[in-house]
Chains A and B, each alone.
Chain A
Amino acid sequence: MTEHPIDSAIPLPPDLAGGPLPAGAEDSADTPRVVQGRFAQKDEGYLALVWRRFRRSVVGMIGLVLVLLLLLMAIFADFFAPMDAKEQTISFAAPDSFSFTAPDGSFSLLPTIYPLVESDQLDPITFQPIMAPDLKNPTPLGFFVKGAPYTIFWVIPADIHFFGSSNGKPVHFLGTDKLGRDILSRGIVGSRISLTIALIVVALTTTIGTLVGISSGYLGGRLDTWVQRFVEVVLAFPQLPLYLALTTLIPVTAPSNVFIAFVIAVMAALGWAQLSREVRSKTLALSRIEYVRAAIAVGSGDFRIIVRHILPNVMSHIIVAVTLAIPTVVLLESFLGFLGFAVKPPLISWGLMLQDAGSFSVIGSYPWILSPVVFVLIAVFAFNALGDGLRDAVDPY
């Protein structure tokens, strides 16, 4: 079991010397159930153990990869977007058609894009030119193409895009919106705001929830009772209607930053309550556990106990809750946007993009206007998957 021979005066009980114990019908209740694989080995610190267990979860790993890609994409959004998010071309253009066969008939992995242009035919009813793919002039695609200029971190100017058309012509993989702006590029750029809002809101709710939960659970007494009553009141609010009401408070003419701050504050106002409850119940259980009492017996002060004993053991639960809360906020932001309460231009968020999709007629005629939900879906899926994998991996000992 361990490399260093422990003093021979202590014969190792046979269960550990021989190997793992059966997980089925077991013997007396005090047997340490150290089964290899599930539990830690050797010198494994907690983080290494969590990582090892996490790696075995397929869903979790997929989620992790996706989340990392998403974050990468959000940070370097301009680099990844094929076009400038503000450039306007044809309004409500359908997505460019593409095929995997090059004009000369050969198969290429890089699809050939046929841009939509006004064709020669007229719509029989409206006498407007029908948009059709221009089969004669495919737009060449490439990686690391020169495109619209942008700045990295608002400082370094650059104009290389990860993927896009190599001749400067517009390419719309997901079509354009009402003002002719490329939806794919807007979606990529919009991830910045949406994810930022989500991360900040979750950071706030987690901090508040944890603080409230731990102090309430640890200190107990009258403080606990009154805080719990307050939490119950907060939890009794029907959340969605309240968010709606609160968002209407946001003055329409406020500058963007104030607006974002307001949205963040609104979402954080209710979200901390559930977490505080869960943290509190964990804290209550931990306050009674022997190693905390041993720390008291040794003379540790409250602060030390909370920080060194309680917090680390609650942290696993908090991390899972954080990961699973992010999609909730992203969803909320997009739903509110869909309803008409979103950030204002020049900011772009997924919610704002969905605002255009608010009427059925638009959806019916231009279904691609809904494609921002794909972004939302991917983000929600990614974080949920990550959270699922984490939840299994951070199980307490």
Chain B
Amino acid sequence: MSTLAPTERHDLGAHGRSLILDARNIAVDFKVEGGIVQAVRDVSFQLHKGETIALVGESGSGKSVTARTVMRLLTKRATIAPKAQITLDGEDLLKKSANAMRSLRGNKIAMIFQEPMSSLNPVYTIGAQICEVLHLHNRMSRKAAMERARELLEEVQIPDPEARLRQYPHQMSGGQRQRVMIAMALANRPEILIADEPTTALDVTVQAQILNLIKELRAKYGMAVILITHDLTIVRQFSDYVYVMQSGEVKEHNTTEALFQSPQHPYTRHLLASEPKGRARPIELGGQPVLEGRDVRVAFTLKRGGAFRPDFFELVAVDNLSIKLQRHETLGIVGESGSGKTTFGQALIRLISNNGGQIYFDGEPIHDKDRHAMRPLRQRMQIVFQDPFASLNPRMSIRQIIEEGLIVNHIGKNERDRVERVRQALRDAGLPDTILMRFPHEFSGGQRQRIAIARAIAMEPEFILLDEPTSALDLSVQAQIIDLLRNLQEQKGLSYLFISHDLKVVRALCHRVIVMQNGKIVEQGTVDEVLSHPQTEYAARLIRAAFEIAA
């Protein structure tokens, strides 16, 4: 146990509020095929009434397992070390019977989870699910429970709560579902709320709303909140005390200001340094745009209304938008989910077809070319996808994956030449060139994304469409990829179209930015202009939410 992370927190005796939860020496082992995994090695923390503590770490740090240990929600394959102790109101939670724990869950301690899309049972109405937790811990009539459920929905600011009670989860958006989760968790006025990455899967404006909602309710009811996250901005804005975790241990803990001002542990420093930083290198603009779109329109016909009353309607994903990308420029397209940014990007490189408008690549019209006619141009425009796991064929070796483009476009004189190009592409992407015979599953997310980038640059394109390439990666890995992209652009004179929902990354990488909402361009300009002086209300809200998590 390093001296930077003693078992007791620095302000233990000196805290203004009363101690409610005291966790000491938590260690959890999991039995898996092939052995035992130590998910949590030694974690201790203390929680006072009315405050928010944060457990911060990247994937694999053990923060989620720790949270579930408090609720004793672990699977049968998990063993908690005997010396672990979690004291709530003078009683050790780990020694309680199963029945006793059940009466605490949803009652005194409540938890909300990361994936709002799958956290609610799809076959029961919202009202039924909220009433379930009410009936479980209180004696209430059905009518009283429904009334209370309605009140709870009002409290979490869901519009039209009466109607929502009878709706099903799939009829609500992600943000609304998370509000319902919060309502369910708070139904019995718990003393402790554990929030496991509650906003990671949500849009940035919704994220701000949800986090502020939790903050308000916490203040109103005097709850204590354990916030689990990997996002440092959230930690900074919403927590009072921070525990930094890595590989199942707490590396450092301190009050929020103290930690951010003077981080002691190298890992903490590394984390803090991983926030996207830097700016795009200045370029001179001019000349023919590499990619241009005029009045591009993409519309889909969707079905709404279910099996018995099908209702077809047209969804306009991209509503007559125009765009110009200059050489050597990085243009960012920013928007929340449903804004149409991915559709726009893929339509511009003709991976999906557009229903109107013109698209020009290096002056040449491509909007009416079919797939066959597009093939000679493919070499010059490439794409990197968001999901590093789905973008590499698990059955192909690294060499085959990268070589495919070379073979198909007849690049390289012979096989040796091609292999050399593959090696060069790997080196450019920061990977050793000895991994040709390996398979994708041997690599982590960040490494796979590098392989995807290598695949793109092996073709020596002029332009790359980057579709949220860093969204699925850990923070520190994200920073590396951003650096890599910047360097590659400088070295090879690439132009990037960078689609993202993360304004921090956009600020670090892009020259200009376009803000989209509901298929329309809401604002555009250079990064500095838009981020410091947004002209529209929506852009302003987006920026506030992204950088300060203010709603």
Contact A37 B32 (CB under 8 A): yes
- A123 contacts B by Cβ under 8 Å: no
User: In the complex, which residues 295-324 of chain A have their Cβ closer than 8 Å to any Cβ of chain B?
Assistant: 295-301, 304, 308-309, 312-313
A23 and B452 form a contact (CB under 8 A): no
| Contact between chains at A25 and B68 (CB < 8 Å) | yes
A40, closest chain B residue (CB): B441
Which of B203-211, B333-341, B392-400, B529-537 binds A?
A: B392-400
Give 6 CB contacts A-B under 8 Å.
A10-B430, A11-B476, A20-B32, A20-B35, A38-B32, A313-B393
User: Once the chains are docked, how many angstroms separate the CA of A30 from the CA of B387?
Assistant: 9
- Is A359 located at the chain interface by the 8 A CB criterion? no
Given A13-B477, A23-B32, A36-B33, 17 other A-B contacts at CB below 8 A?
Answer: A7-B430, A10-B480, A20-B37, A21-B39, A22-B28, A24-B30, A24-B74, A25-B64, A25-B73, A30-B474, A36-B34, A40-B441, A291-B390, A291-B401, A294-B391, A299-B409, A301-B408
Whether, in the assembled complex, B432 has its beta carbon less than 8 Å from a beta carbon of chain A, the answer is yes
Assuming the contacts A20-B32, A290-B390, asked whether A4 and B431 have C-beta atoms less than 8 A apart, the reply is no
Contacts of A301 in B (CB 8 A): 375, 408
Binding site for B on A (CB under 8 A): 1-2, 4-7, 9-16, 18-32, 34-46, 289-291, 293-301, 304, 308-309, 312-313, 396-397
Residue in contact with A25 in the complex, picked from B57, B75, B404, B455, CB distance below 8 Å: B75
Closest CB in chain B relative to A354 CB, distance in Å: 43
- Is B405 a contact of A32 with CB atoms below 8 Å? no
Q: Which of B73, B392, B408, B444 contacts A299 (CB 8 A)?
A: B408
List residues of chain B with CB within 8 A of the CB of A298.
378, 382, 404-405, 408-409, 455, 459
Counting chain B CB atoms within 10 Å of each CB, the highest count among A13, A31, A46, A304 belongs to: A13
| C-alpha spacing A163/B39, complex, angstroms | 59
User: How many Å from the CB of A246 to the closest CB on chain B?
Assistant: 36
A-side contacts of B395, CB under 8 Å = 46, 312-313
B442 touches A40 (CB 8 A): yes
In angstroms, Cα B476 to Cα A13, docked, is 9
Q: Chain B 28-71 against A: per-residue CB contact (8 Å), 1 yes, 0 no?
A: 10101111010100000000000000000111111111001000
Contact A4 B435 (CB under 8 A): yes
Question: What distance in Å separates the Cβ of B27 from its nearest Cβ neighbour in chain A?
Answer: 13
Which chain A positions have C-beta within 8 A of B375?
A: 299, 301
Q: Is B351 an interface residue (CB 8 A)?
A: yes
Residue in chain B with minimal CB distance to A300? B408
Query: Residues of B contacting A35 with CB < 8 Å?
Result: 32-34, 37
Collect the chain A residues with CB atoms within 8 Å of residue B382's CB. Answer: 297-298
Chain B residues contacting A30 (CB-CB under 8 Å) are 59, 445, 472-474
Contact between A12 and B65, CB atoms less than 8 A apart: no
Within 8 A of A (CB), among B425-484: 430-432, 434-435, 437-439, 441-442, 444-447, 450, 452, 455, 459, 472-474, 476-477, 480
Cα A294 to Cα B390 with chains together (Å): 10
Contact B59 A27 (CB under 8 A): yes
Question: Interface centre among A10, A21, A29, A304, by most B CB within 10 Å?
Answer: A10
Which residue of chain A has the shortest Cβ distance to B377 in the bound complex? A299
Which one, A31, A294, A300, contacts B59 given CB within 8 A?
Answer: A31
List 5 A-B pairs, minimum CB-CB distance, nearest first: A37-B34, A15-B60, A299-B378, A22-B30, A37-B33
Which chain B residue has the least Cβ–Cβ distance from A312?
B395
> What is the interface of chain B, defined by CB distance below 8 A to chain A?
28, 30, 32-35, 37, 39, 57-65, 68, 73-75, 77-78, 114-115, 197, 200-201, 230, 246-247, 349, 351, 371, 374-376, 378-379, 381-383, 385, 387, 389-396, 401, 404-405, 408-409, 430-432, 434-435, 437-439, 441-442, 444-447, 450, 452, 455, 459, 472-474, 476-477, 480
Measured in the bound complex, the distance between the Cα atoms of B441 and A303 in whole Å is: 26
Of A2, A10, A14, A41, which one neighbours B60 at CB under 8 angstroms?
A: A14
Instruction: Output the least CB separation between B237 and chain A (Å).
Output: 20
Docked Cα-Cα span, A396 to B476, in Å, equals 29
- Closest approach, in angstroms, between the C-beta of A102 and any C-beta of chain B? 51
List, in ascending order, chain A residues with CB within 8 A of B474's CB: 13, 30
Please give, as numbers and ranges, the residues of chain B lying within 8 Å of A1 by CB-CB distance. Answer: 442
Q: Roughly how many angstroms separate A313 CA and B349 CA in the complex, as a whole number?
A: 27
Inter-chain CB contacts under 8 Å: number: 197
B404 and A300 contact, CB distance less than 8 A:
yes
Indicate whether A297 sits within 8 Å of B472 (C-beta atoms), given known contacts A14-B247, A25-B65. no
State the Cβ distance, A290 to closest chain B Cβ, in Å.
Answer: 4
Which B residues lie within 8 Å of A24 (CB)?
A: 30, 39, 65, 74-75, 77-78
Q: In the assembled complex, which residues on chain B have CB atoms less than 8 Å from the CB atom of A45?
A: 439
Least CB distance from B80 to A in Å reads 12
Chain A contacts of B438 at CB under 8 A?
2, 43
- What are the residues of chain B within 8 A of A396 when measuring CB–CB? 394
Q: Are B439 and A44 interface neighbours, CB within 8 A?
A: yes
**A310 to nearest B CB, angstroms?**
10
Q: Give the shortest distance, in Å, between A266 (CB) and chain B (any CB).
A: 36
Report yes or no: B476 in contact with A21, Cβ–Cβ below 8 A. no
Instruction: Let me know if B430 and A9 touch, CB within 8 A.
Output: yes
Given A24-B77, A37-B34, verify A295-B404 contact (CB < 8 Å).
yes
B115 close to A294 (CB less than 8 A): no
B353 to chain A, nearest CB (A): 12
CB closest residue in chain B, given A304: B408
Cβ–Cβ < 8 Å partners of B60 in chain A? 13-15, 18, 21, 27, 31
CA distance A294 to B376 in the complex (A): 15
Expressed in whole angstroms, the minimum distance between the Cβ of B430 and any Cβ of chain A is 6
Q: By CB atoms of chain A within 10 A, which of B28, B39, B393, B452 has the most?
A: B393
Evaluate whether A25 and B59 lie within 8 angstroms (CB atoms) in the complex, with A6-B432, A293-B351 already known: no
**Interchain CA distance A46-B440 in the complex, whole Å:** 11
Instruction: Give Cα distance in the complex from A314 to B437, angstroms.
Output: 22
Q: Could you say which residues of chain B place their CB within 8 Å of the CB of A29?
A: 114-115, 200-201
- The answer, among B34, B58, B381, B405, for a CB contact under 8 Å with A20, is B34
**A residues within 8 A CB of B437?**
43
Q: Are B351 and A297 in contact (CB under 8 A)?
A: yes
Chain B residues with Cβ under 8 A from A9's Cβ? 430, 480
CB contact between A294 and one of B77, B201, B452 (< 8 Å): that residue: B452
Q: Please give, as numbers and ranges, the residues of chain A lying within 8 Å of B404 by CB-CB distance.
A: 295, 298, 300, 308
CB neighbours of A31 from chain B (8 A): 59-60
| 8 Å CB contact of A291 from B115, B197, B391, B459 | B391
Would you give the shortest CB distance from A92 to chain B, in whole angstroms? 55
B343 shortest CB reach to chain A, Å:
13
Which of the residues A19, A293, A295 comes within 8 Å of B37, measured between beta carbons? Answer: A19
Nearest-neighbour CB distance to chain B for A313, whole angstroms, equals 6
B55 to chain A, nearest CB (A): 11
Q: Chain B residues near A397: list those with CB within 8 A.
A: 394, 441
A36 to chain B, nearest CB (A): 4
| Minimum CB–CB distance for B329 against chain A, Å | 21
The docked-state distance in angstroms from the alpha carbon of A31 to that of B447 is 13
Which residues of the partner chain B approach A28 to less than 8 Å between Cβ atoms? 59, 114, 197, 200, 230
- Complex Cα distance, B440 from A313, in Å, reads 14
Task: Looking at the assembled complex, report how far the CB atom of A148 sits from the nearest CB atom of chain B, in whole angstroms.
Answer: 50
Q: In the complex, what residues of B have CB within 8 A of residue A42's CB?
A: 442
Which partner residue on chain A sits nearest B69 by CB separation? A25
Whether B30 contacts A7 by the Cβ 8 Å rule is: no
In the complex, the answer to whether A23 meets B409 with C-beta atoms within 8 Å is no
Taking a contact as CB atoms under 8 Å apart, the answer to whether B431 and A10 are in contact is yes
| Residue contact B432 to A7, C-beta cutoff 8 Å | yes
- Closest Cβ of chain B: how far from A176's Cβ, in Å? 52
Complex: how many Å from CA A14 to CA B409?
39
CB distance from B338 to the nearest CB of A (A): 19
CB distance from B268 to the nearest CB of A (A): 15
B444 & A16 in contact (Cβ 8 Å cutoff): yes
**Nearest chain A residue, comparing its CB with the CB of B57:** A27
In angstroms, Cα B357 to Cα A197, docked, is 58
**Closest chain A residue to B390, Cβ basis:** A290
